[in-house]
Amino acid sequence: MLNELDNNMRLTSQRQVILEELRKVKSHPTATEVYDMVRKRLPRIGLGTVYRNLELLTEKNIIKKLEFGGEQKRFDGDTSSHYHIRCVECNRVEDIFIKRHKELDKNAASSCGYKILDHHVQFSGICSHCLPDA
């Protein structure tokens, strides 16, 4: 019983560290990148543990998972409503804080008859670091 409790506590604090590290950055890291950050504080943690906890935190809507086709999944500690843009040259992913496009939901609803709950838009482009100097 005591062991089980110990084990639970350990899991909880690992998850807490993963969440704290993820929330520190705005880079939308992959699981491997989160693992590298967390390992500095928890040297014995495994990549599998980090991965499982990231999935669990996603299921509980505490963090967000971003999927860009053909790329490793990335994670976002900021669950507020915002859009993302990915640079096609260097693959960085940044936040775009613009108002949610309500017209899009309305147009979709009238075209398919669904009650729209959510939509996902991802922008791609070339970031200022990758644009050739004018």
Rule CB under 5 A: say whether 127 interacts with Zn ion: yes
Candidates 26, 41, 34, 40; CA nearest to 94 is 26
Q: Between residues 51 and 83, which has the closer beta carbon with respect to Zn ion?
A: 83
- The window from 8-16, 37-45, 67-75, 95-103 that contacts Zn ion (CB under 5 A) reads 95-103
Q: Which of residues 45-84 bind Zn ion (CB under 5 A)?
A: 76
Q: Between residues 104 and 130, which has the closer beta carbon with respect to Zn ion?
A: 130
CB of 6 to Zn ion, least distance (A): 35
* Separation of alpha carbons 59 and 84, rounded Å: 20
Q: Between residues 14 and 33, which has the closer beta carbon with respect to Zn ion?
A: 33
How open is the CA angle 15-21-27, to the nearest 5 degrees? 130
Rule CB under 5 A: say whether 94 interacts with Zn ion: no
- Is-contact 82 26, C-beta < 8 A? no
Rule CB under 5 A: say whether 96 interacts with Zn ion: no
Q: Between residues 95 and 105, which has the closer beta carbon with respect to Zn ion?
A: 95
How many residues sit close enough to Zn ion to count as binding (CB under 5 A)? 8
Distances (CA, A) of 43 to 17, 90, 105: 12, 29, 45
3-state secondary structure of 61: coil
Rule CB under 5 A: say whether 95 interacts with Zn ion: yes
- Is-contact 54 74, C-beta < 8 A? no
Residues that bind Zn ion (CB under 5 A): 76, 87, 89-90, 95, 127, 129-130
